[in-house]
Amino acid sequence: MGKYDVIIIGAGLSGLAAGIRLSQFGSRVRIFDMQRYAGGMNSYYRRGERAYDVGLHAVTNYSLERSSPLSLMLRQLRIRRDELELVPQRSSRISFLDADLEFDNDFGTFRDSVARSFPGDQVAFDRFVARIREDDSFNPSLGFESTRAVMREVGLSVELSEMLLCPVMYYGSSWPHDMDFHQYCVLFSSMFLEGLCRPAGGMESLVGVLTKRFLENGGELSLGSAIRSIELSGGRVSGVVDSAGHFHGCDAVLSCAGYPETLDLAHGQHAPEMIGELGFTESLFELSRPVRDFGLADSVVFFNSSSTFSYGVPTEGFELSSFVLCVPGNFPGVRESGRGPAIRMTALASPKYWKGLSKGDYELAKAALLRDELDILESMYPGISKAVIYSEAFTPKTIERYTGRLNGAVYGSPIKIKNGLTDVPGLLICGTDQGFLGIVGSMLSGIVVVNRHLMT
């Protein structure tokens, strides 16, 4: 069979992007994933004829500018933008007890909304955005800097600071309460300066484009095949062993399985503090009528029931004082493939709680989650609960089971390996635990790690 130049663990978005980049330069590369479908945490599944996104809310970095991260990334992958059929959001909002902030893909809408709701904060907000634009966020040598501290430094009011933390933390913080400012800058820019969109055909079409390009380049893809161990020889990587017990030799292994998860494969252990503690529940409600009929016309809503935002591990199984709603049908041009128009609801959850339940109690807890969520939706959008024709919920336990991500921690380990290097020569990390989050972030990570370490 011969030796591979690079073996990639995981056909998640970072693994696929890395694989395309390597294969287009003639490297012999093979991707293994334990799942039957590619896409990792943002994959899809089939129920009969229907394809469901695992949990997609929005793709970030919509900007059409030639120099935007998405445009640069697509050029590196030799994929045309129109192949992804990205359709922009209509409008979205951050909704707190005392104020609402609207935004869309024109940053002016957001700035005006801040000026209307927080007139005394306008100068500080502009200063804050200037700091974000100037930040050298991709410099791997930069350490943790507190976002809350920067917000205080530029003079933002506490109320506005809370509203600016909520959406960014929900879309990518693996730390409770505060967030690394450099990572905040990347996410704020990708959401508010560049904008949100969705692939019109859902994740199946986006993952399909990436997979096709990888295979056309000559890459090899083994789905439904888990890697059981990473083998070392003379202190460096020599190959991997798959679930059938076969050894595959290679010069380098690039893992998007997560940092502690990868150390387990190489050394059989990891430090406990490496495991992410933050989890989410992700619920899907399908309706008999469009969601707009009930008064919800926004694409995404970040909701918080008080004026302070609490982002951490709930003491109970889930916490509904804040949550995110996404309405795929409110991205004009999306082709929904379920039983009816969908609304998705994401809330903070405790992985320990969900993993500790017996099978029976687990089903009861899921039913309680869906019931409580529906009560909230009904209080916000009267009549909606009667229109629900199907619902289901994912928990951190579901995410751990399907992606191997310990604790089902969507944003991975709190320890980020910014340069992608591990203690083993030839073993590299990309994706979530390299510190680039979300769909576009993880794809960028795959490209960056390949360009930096594997293109020689």
Ligand X SMILES: Cc1cc2nc3c(=O)[nH]c(=O)nc-3n(C[C@H](O)[C@H](O)[C@H](O)COP(=O)(O)OP(=O)(O)OC[C@H]3O[C@@H](n4cnc5c(N)ncnc54)[C@H](O)[C@@H]3O)c2cc1C
Which DSSP state fits 39?
Answer: B
272: which 2 tokens? Answer: 């406990």
57, 93, 248, 366: which one binds ligand X (CB under 6 A): 57
Size of the site for ligand X (CB under 6 A): 38
Length of the chain: 456
Residue 85 near residue 294 (C-beta atoms within 8 A): no
User: Binding of ligand X at residue 254 (CB under 6 A)?
Assistant: no
Site string for ligand X, 194-233 (x = CB under 6 A): --------------------------------xx------
User: Binding of ligand X at residue 9 (CB under 6 A)?
Assistant: yes
6, 7, 15, 110: which one binds ligand X (CB under 6 A): 15
Comparing CA positions, the residue from 177, 291, 218 lying closest to residue 23 is 218
431, 448, 449, 454: which one binds ligand X (CB under 6 A): 431
Residue 119 near residue 59 (C-beta atoms within 8 A): no
Residue 406 near residue 258 (C-beta atoms within 8 A): yes
The rounded distance, in Å, linking the Cα atoms of 171 and 346 is: 10
Site string for ligand X, 372-401 (x = CB under 6 A): ---------------------------x--
From residue 20, alpha-carbon distances to 23, 219, 313, 354 in Å are 5, 8, 36, 36
Residues contacting 234, CB < 8 A, separation 6+: none
434: which 2 tokens? Answer: 């390299």
| Range in contact with ligand X (rule: CB under 6 A) among 3-11, 77-85, 206-214, 271-279 | 3-11
Site string for ligand X, 160-189 (x = CB under 6 A): ------------------------------
Q: How far is the CB of 274 from ligand X (least distance, A)?
A: 15
Pairing of strands 29-33, 4-9: parallel
User: Binding of ligand X at residue 11 (CB under 6 A)?
Assistant: yes
Q: Which runs of consecutive H residues, i.e. helices, occur in 58-120?
A: 69-77, 81-84, 107-117
Closer by beta carbon to ligand X, 132 or else 254: 254
| Range in contact with ligand X (rule: CB under 6 A) among 19-27, 67-75, 156-164, 435-443 | 435-443
Closer by beta carbon to ligand X, 125 or else 311: 311
* Radius of gyration (C-alpha) of the chain in whole angstroms: 21
User: Binding of ligand X at residue 415 (CB under 6 A)?
Assistant: no
Q: How far is the CB of 437 from ligand X (least distance, A)?
A: 5
The rounded distance, in Å, linking the Cα atoms of 124 and 99 is: 18
Closer by beta carbon to ligand X, 111 or else 208: 208
The rounded distance, in Å, linking the Cα atoms of 148 and 129 is: 14
19, 55, 351, 420: which one binds ligand X (CB under 6 A): 55
Q: Residue numbers of the site for ligand X (CB under 6 A)?
A: 9-15, 32-35, 40-42, 54-60, 226-227, 256-257, 261, 282, 399, 403-405, 410, 431-432, 437-439, 442
